[in-house]
Structure 1
Amino acid sequence: MHEKEAETGPERRSDPFAELEALAEAAKPTFWGYLGCELAHAERGKAIVSLQVRPEHLNLARIVHGGVLASLLDNAMGLVVILDCPGEKTVTTQLNVHYLQSAGLGEIRCEALLIHKSRRTLTMQGRIVDNKGELLAWGSGTFRRVT
């Protein structure tokens, strides 16, 4: 085998972490980027995504819109699924969100964890905190592998 082939062999191509930066860059023109998500940390089974809350993320009460929080949970959990199922197509099949406290402008962070994996589904949980560590929302989601 040539050196070039060794660098691009199956074990090299299947490493999801080697392509994480490229994935984050590719996501910029999607809803991820439109929302303003930033990857803070990722490892197998866990990801942390941050969001700098802007005025357009607020509702008329001047607090973060619930849809923004739900989207942040879905994006962070979805990232964990992508890392755990590289090259596979997956979709969100269920998302539960518990809104616990409101927030305004400033940074918020979502930590997502894989809590169960079967042959066809992955079950996730996530929590969103503000820059003081106050829990804003908690959620769970189920993702299905699509064939």
Structure 2
Amino acid sequence: MTSTDTHAGETVGKRVHELTTIFERGLTENLGVGASLGIRLETAGEGYTRYYLDPNPATINAMFTVHGGVLATLMDTAMGSAVFTKLGDGVAYTTLELKLNFIRSVTLDGSRLTCEANAVHLGRRTATAEGRITDAAGKLIAHGSTTILVLQPEG
């Protein structure tokens, strides 16, 4: 392992810790999508995250299925976080574009939804990621991609 590899590993570890801390704080202080919708971070690593959601009454639409916007939020959170784990200290991001394909609807049957996301490209100004949402039986619910604007620190 080179010193560059060690530095990169330390940065990833730091970003994963920061991501976990942010989500835990949100739950403690009743802030963000974790508190409002029940989205939870399960695991994160270099360029990878896995989040889950147990559908609940706050996540459904008028047809009593999980709202597409909630699924989009789950995927946006996972894909943005996957990119975040690869960013350097002080570098922020925001979503430029989000594309989802909804494959099947989700009812309130107690089935946990899991979203796995992977960073695909990380450049100085933009990044891309892909994500997939599956139900507890492993059936594909939605898949998508994002383009992220990378916000370098000023100075």
**Normalised by the size of structure 1, how large is the TM-score?**
0.84
**2:30 is equivalent to residue 27 of structure 1:** no
State the alpha-carbon separation in 2 of the partners of residues 43 and 145 from structure 1. 19
**Normalised by the size of structure 2, how large is the TM-score?**
0.80
**2:87 is equivalent to residue 97 of structure 1:** no
Q: Percent identity?
A: 36
Q: How does 1:107-146 map to 2 (within 5 A)?
A: 107-146=112-151
Contact 1:32–1:75, Cα closer than 8 Å, also in 2:
no
Contact 1:96–1:141, Cα closer than 8 Å, also in 2:
yes
Offset of 1:87 from its aligned partner?
A: 2.7
Offset of 1:138 from its aligned partner?
A: 0.5
- What's the secondary structure of 2:105's corresponding residue? coil
State the alpha-carbon separation in 1 of the partners of residues 36 and 86 from structure 2. 24
- What's the secondary structure of 1:56's corresponding residue? helix
Q: What is the aligned length?
A: 136
Unaligned runs of 5+ in 2: 1-9
State the alpha-carbon separation in 2 of the partners of residues 15 and 61 from structure 1. 42
Unaligned runs of 5+ in 1: 1-10
Offset of 1:20 from its aligned partner?
A: 4.1
Aligned AA (1:23): I
Query: Could you list the runs of 4 or more consecutive aligned residues of structure 1 that deviate by over 4 angstroms after TM superposition?
Result: none
User: What do residues 8-51 of structure 1 show as CA deviations (whole Å, max 9, x unaligned)?
Assistant: xxx68x72234343122123312343121111111001100000
State the alpha-carbon separation in 2 of the partners of residues 20 and 68 from structure 1. 20
Q: Which has the higher strand share?
A: 1
User: What do residues 91-128 of structure 1 show as CA deviations (whole Å, max 9, x unaligned)?
Assistant: 00000010001111231010011111222111000000
Residue number among 79, 82, 88 corresponding to 1:80 in the alignment: 82
